[in-house]
Homo-oligomer: A and B are copies of this chain.
Amino acid sequence: MTQAEGGLRARKKRETRAALAEAALRLALEKGPDNVTVEEIAEAADVSVRTFFNYFPHKEHAILGRNPEHIERALDRMREAPAEESPLTTMRFIVHDVLRDLEGEGELSRRGELIMASPHLLYQLMLSSFEDERQLTEALAERMGEPATSVRPALIVSASGAACRVAMERHKADPDRPIRELVDEGFQLLAEGIDPGFRVVPTKGHP
């Protein structure tokens, strides 16, 4: 296999990808995500339209420019979590970690609003977070020593995602409440039980 990643070829690929993602985000912010064409993005990155599609399957994917490092770090964090740390606690760390990154890039609000404003972006984000959730669930189930078909690990991951989304929405509606505070409130509720009054009427088994 050619020289792994230091070569001119590999570097150029990284650069092209970065240029495309950058152009996509910039243009989307400038003109609104639905008013950008692939043609413009390609032009701005100085490649052909066809090349754009060699790098990204959809326009949205480029705008979103998901950083593969995020999920990687999240998985690492999950696997290396101290044995005595409870699952939801780990999930909370992961969420805060991602938030820190986004804030660091100064992109939390910019990209966040962009996403919230465009159904198509939301779509891609959801799809990728589905995949993320799947991987995280797998890692968590293993860590908890539960079978992969168990409900609890999956629900812990998925509900954490729900808490995130709720926090983002509420933060958008009321920007004075810091998002981390909202996230923590959500996790606290999930941990303690979201509804102490819950009662299932005598369940009638399967039909």
Chain A residues with a Cβ under 8 A of chain B? 86-89, 92, 103, 119, 122-123, 126-127, 130, 148-149, 151-152, 154-156, 158-159, 161-163, 165-167, 169-170, 173-174, 177-178, 180-182, 184-200, 203, 206-207
Contact = CB atoms under 8 A, between A and B. Distances in A.
A193 to B, nearest CB: 3
* Interface SS majority for chain A: helix
Nearest to A179: B206
Given A162-B161, A184-B200, A197-B86, A149 B127 contact: no
A194 B89 CA distance: 11
Contacts of A169: 154
A193 B190 CA distance: 6
B184 A191 contact: no
A29 to B, nearest CB: 22
A87 B148 CA distance: 30
5 contacts: A89-B200, A92-B200, A122-B130, A190-B193, A190-B194
A185 B87 CA distance: 18
Give the one of A156, A178, A193 with max B CB within 10 A: A193
Copies of this chain assembled into the complex? 2
B159 A194 contact: yes
Q: Which 9 A-B pairs have the closest CB atoms?
A: A86-B197, A191-B198, A193-B193, A88-B195, A158-B162, A123-B123, A88-B198, A154-B166, A162-B162
Contact of A174 (B89, B149, B162): B149
Contact of A198 (B86, B103, B127, B200): B86
Contact of A163 (B122, B149, B155): B155
Contacts of A207: 103, 178, 180
A195 B86 contact: yes
A196 B190 contact: no
A163 B162 CA distance: 10
A185 to B, nearest CB: 5
Given A123-B126, A199-B89, A207-B178, A151 B186 contact: yes
